[in-house]
Amino acid sequence: MDAQTLFRQGVLAIRDQKDVAQGRKLLQQSLRLDPKNDMAWLWLTRTVSDTETRLKYIDYALKVNPANEHALKLKQQLLQHAVPAAAPPVAAPAASPPQPQVASVPAVSQPEPVAAVQSDALTMASPMKPSERKQVMQLLEQAEVYREEDNIEAAIGEWVSVLGIRVDHDVAIRNATGHLWKMNYREDARELIHRAIDAGTAVPFIYMTAIDMAEREHDYEVADQLRETIPAMPNAPEELIINIVDQHMEAYKMDQALKALEAAVESHPDSQVLLVKLGDVYTELQRTTEAMSCYDRAVRLGSRSTFGKEADKRLASYVPVLTDQERGSILLAVREATGFGIAAFLLGIQDAGLDLPSMSGLHWMGIGLSLLGGYFLVTATSSPQQRPLAGLLGGKIPPPTEIDPDEKKEVENTFGEAMAEDSQIPILPMAARYFLGFVGLVMIIAALGLVLNQSLGLVMDYTQPPYPESLR
Amino acid sequence: MCLIISFILLVLSVIISMSFIYPLPINDARTTRYRSLPWSTYLLISINAIVFLAWLGPDLYGSGDEPPNWPSYVNKISSYGYREDLITSLSGTETMGGIGALATFSSMFMHADIWHLFSNMIFLWTFGRRIEDACGHSRFLVFYIFAGMVANVGSVMLNPADRDIPGIGASGAIFGVMGAYLLLFPNGKIISLWGLGAIFRIPFAAVRMVGDSDVKLWRWAMPLPAWFLLLVYVAINIGPSLETIFWGDNTGGVDTLAHLTGFAAALTIFFFVRKDLLVRFLSGRTV
């Protein structure tokens, strides 16, 4: 179903059938296909009750079409009814006691406490000296005392002092920014957060708070910039990147989710969780080949870890990927030829009356020939890229296969082979493959003649065997 | 018309009786990975069916106005079935005629009656397609023939009794395919008809029906784990096979020893599976 049809059905479900859940589902599907439908975003506001989310949807609609009058009007209405003071950001400490309303907070001197943070302060990534640790503990304890006394300003001062030692100290930054934000010193809160980010912190909370702050002030550009920057940072934690990607996906910004993950995978090449997530995004976008490649990379990093298993599970629903390592292996080709050899041996021993010592030289020669012929046949058909054989016989690296993604499914159905990654190793020339295939086939036929020599003689000179006792 | 209805009723009654105590697999619930047409499985089923319907069947059941031709049927079985006496005579100076070791091929495409053919082909249909998918068409054919040969050889060599009864049927090869399925896809699901299972299921279904009205109280066909189903079939064959190995058996009937040796032939599947699948299997990944 196309995006427009889904949109229309979603609207009908909400407006006429009063089925909000179904309407939401349809609108979400429509937006997944076409995120630039401002009316769909607007209708989506009818499916949620909280003002924050509704505002978010309206902002998306306005981003697509800034002149959308309905959206502007609705936004105005919502802003008028919204609580004047912004709610605390997600970063607000959960365990902190109820904070006084903004109006009752005594005026605090402007950003002096923040200025105490040194611009070259270290992050938590560098180890703390025992003296520093002691100092931090004392400051945090003192801050707790102040907070219990309801002297939030003084507490903030202590937390900021901690941030002077370690710019991204988890407890200190959480409390300081949370309280500063509630007291409406948003600039200060923002500055603390951005200093930590500038210092290269690896604390996920800090980045998420920065994004949250930007979004609360409807500064989506800054939020998006942060979302773009973080995944490319080698020290950015995986969970944070996943969180960012999920946010993009929730907003149906699949392109941005993809961009973020691609950058993240580049900066975290050994991260299974990111590779699996990237595969999931590709799957959502119906880019099967890339999705498989991601899952395959993830599973090759280790199949026994949780995400290795996850990748493997997802990969199991696709056609496997054939790699150059597998294509180039002589051992794997010899293994297939061995299959011919053991089949020939079994025929030979039957031809010798199931008596090993009775096997003649012809039988053994047939077995040897079947192994060699099998190897030639395997080389011509399923293993034409063995290293270094293919190169020595004048093989060249095959040109990359150009398959239209739309035709991919058709190709899978037609060829029924493992989906091929573009190969970087030489393949035997076609003439050599035909030659080897022909020689191999002749050798196998000859081998069959040798291992079954006695039985073929019997067929040539056929006599009716006596009936078995039981059937007489 | 009456004949057709009686035939359908007969088929249904046989299926019901076949699937009451032991589960009868009818389909693989999982999709294949390479999504290629399993023409080798189709080919094998077709050859088996043609050999029976066009060659053995008319002798056994008669055709048109012709009555059954028992001597011709016995002659074919004796000449092209797998017989210990004929095979072992190849090691001596005087052979006993026939087609020698080539009987290993002919015997695995012959069936004693229509039900023998039907039951074997339904197993081949269920398990063969996925193994063919895992091996590729030609390698699957070689493996199938190989497993059939192992079954023939095993049933003769492991039976200490002098048993000159022709062995026929595809079951040894098919047990090889089933063994390969157990090795490669132990977690697969097989849709099976199972009367006893359906009875056991009733109390559980009744409880589930309370919360979900779509649950059916009676379901003859159910997905069973492949490992369970295959081990049931191995277990059925183990007792009689051990009896044959220790005390010998020179009576006719089902050759359980051929089934088990065919099953053991599955260990060689690693010579026949696709290279990418082998690499995946060895690294502990899903195949």
Q: Which residues of A touch B85 (CB under 8 A)?
A: 468
Cross-chain Cβ contact B285/A299 below 8 Å: yes
How many CB atoms are located within 10 Å of the residue B43 CB? Answer: 12
Question: Residue A338: closest CA among chain B residues belongs to which residue?
Answer: B271
Predicted-complex ipTM score: 0.92
Q: Which residues of A touch B90 (CB under 8 A)?
A: 350-353, 358, 454-455
HSE-up of residue B190 (Cα within 13 Å, Cβ side): 30
Q: Is A36 on the interface with B (CB under 8 A)?
A: no
In percent, the amount of chain A with pLDDT more than 90 equals 34
Q: What pLDDT is recorded for position B147? A: 98
The correct answer on CATH 1.20.1540.10 for the domain covering B34-188+225-282 is yes
Residue A381 phi/psi, 5° resolution?
A: -105, -70
Query: Helix/strand/coil (H, E, C) string of chain B?
Result: CHHHHHHHHHHHHHHHHHCCCCCEEEEECCCCCCCCCCHHHHHHHHHHHHHHHHHHHHHHHCCCCCCCCHHHHHHHHHHHCECHHHHHHHHCCCCCCCCHHHHHHHHCCCCCCHHHHHHHHHHHHHHHHHHHHHHCHHHHHHHHHHHHHHHHHHHHHCCCCCCCCCECCCHHHHHHHHHHHHHHCCCCEEEEECHHHHHHHHHHHHHHHHHCCCCCCCCCEEEEEHHHHHHHHHHHHHHHHHHHHHHCCCCCCCCHHHHHHHHHHHHHHHHCCCHHHHHHHHCCCCC
Q: What pLDDT is recorded for position A121? A: 66
Q: Indicate the pairing of strand B24-28 with strand B189-193.
A: antiparallel
Residue A13: C-alpha distances to residues A21, A47, A113 (Å) = 9, 11, 54
- Residue A166 CA, chain-centre distance (Å), reads 33
Cross-chain Cβ contact A315/B156 below 8 Å: no
Task: Name the nearest CA neighbour of A281 among A231, A246, A320.
Answer: A246
Residue B223 phi/psi, 5° resolution?
A: -80, 125
Q: Which residues of A touch B104 (CB under 8 A)?
A: 347, 350
**How many CB pairs (< 8 A) connect A and B?**
171
Q: What pLDDT is recorded for position A402? A: 61
Cross-chain Cβ contact A466/B96 below 8 Å: yes
In single-letter form, the type of residue at position A230 comes to I
Instruction: Calculate how close chain A gets to B248, using CA atoms only, in Å.
Output: 16
Q: For an interface test with A, which of B30, B31, B32, B33 has the most A Cβ atoms less than 10 Å from its Cβ?
A: B33
| Weakest mean pLDDT among A71-85, A291-305, B80-94 | A71-85
In single-letter form, the type of residue at position A339 comes to G
The DSSP bridge partners found for residue A170 are none
Kindly indicate the confidence band of residue A406, based on its pLDDT and cuts at 50, 70 and 90: low
The C-alpha atoms of residue A379 and residue A395 are separated, in whole angstroms, by 13
Would you list the domain boundaries of chain B? 34-188+225-282
pLDDT digits (tens, 9 = 90+) for A382-392: 999 999 999 99
Judge contact between A142 and A162, C-beta under 8 A: no
Task: Name the nearest CA neighbour of A83 among A59, A52, A121.
Answer: A52
Task: Name the nearest CA neighbour of B153 among B51, B261, B276.
Answer: B261
Q: Which range has the top average pLDDT, A71-85, A237-251, A288-302, B118-132?
A: B118-132
Q: Which two tokens stand for residue A230?
A: 């973080």
Instruction: Calculate how close chain A gets to B155, using CA atoms only, in Å.
Output: 12
Q: What pLDDT is recorded for position A85? A: 37
Q: What is the mean pLDDT of chain A?
A: 82
**Could you say which residues of chain B have pLDDT below 70?**
31, 35
Cross-chain Cβ contact B78/A346 below 8 Å: no
| Weakest mean pLDDT among A221-235, A247-261, B204-218 | A221-235
- Which of A429 and A69 is assigned the larger pLDDT? A429
Question: Residue B273: closest CA among chain A residues belongs to which residue?
Answer: A336
Kindly indicate the confidence band of residue A120, based on its pLDDT and cuts at 50, 70 and 90: low
Kindly indicate the confidence band of residue A87, based on its pLDDT and cuts at 50, 70 and 90: very low
pLDDT digits (tens, 9 = 90+) for B142-161: 999 999 999 999 999 999 98
Contacts of B79 (CB under 8 A, 6+ apart): A464, A465, B98, B99
B271 → closest Cβ in A336, A350, A459: A336
Q: Which residues of B touch A327 (CB under 8 A)?
A: 275
Cross-chain Cβ contact B149/A346 below 8 Å: yes
Instruction: Calculate how close chain B gets to A149, using CA atoms only, in Å.
Output: 54
Q: Is A420 on the interface with B (CB under 8 A)?
A: no
**Mean pLDDT, residues A425-449 taken together:** 96
Question: Residue A355: closest CA among chain B residues belongs to which residue?
Answer: B91
- Which of A52 and A269 is assigned the larger pLDDT? A269
Instruction: List the 372-391 stretch of A: residues with Cβ below 8 A of B.
Output: 382-383
Residue B96 phi/psi, 5° resolution?
A: -105, 15
pLDDT digits (tens, 9 = 90+) for B201-216: 999 999 988 877 778 8
Q: What pLDDT is recorded for position B243? A: 93
Kindly indicate the confidence band of residue A110, based on its pLDDT and cuts at 50, 70 and 90: very low
Q: What pLDDT is recorded for position A98? A: 32
Q: Is A360 on the interface with B (CB under 8 A)?
A: no
| Weakest mean pLDDT among A128-137, A359-368, B231-240 | A128-137
Q: What pLDDT is recorded for position A106? A: 34
A452 → closest Cβ in B86, B101, B280: B101
Cross-chain Cβ contact B33/A316 below 8 Å: yes
Q: Which residues of A touch B87 (CB under 8 A)?
A: 350, 353-354
Exposure string (b/e) for A94-128, b if CB count within 10 Å is 16 or more? eebeebeeeeebeebeebebbeebeeebbbbeeee
Q: For an interface test with B, which of A455, A460, A472 has the most B Cβ atoms less than 10 Å from its Cβ?
A: A455
Cross-chain Cβ contact B276/A321 below 8 Å: yes
Cross-chain Cβ contact A354/B164 below 8 Å: no
The C-alpha atoms of residue A338 and residue A374 are separated, in whole angstroms, by 8
Q: Is A449 on the interface with B (CB under 8 A)?
A: no
Q: Which residues of B touch A383 (CB under 8 A)?
A: 275
Q: Which residues of B touch A457 (CB under 8 A)?
A: 100
Cross-chain Cβ contact A339/B166 below 8 Å: no
Judge contact between B52 and B77, C-beta under 8 A: no
The strand order across the sheet containing B24-28 reads B24-28, B189-193, B221-225
**Mean pLDDT, residues A409-437 taken together:** 74
pLDDT digits (tens, 9 = 90+) for A138-156: 999 999 999 888 888 899 9
| Weakest mean pLDDT among A94-103, A225-234, A295-304 | A94-103
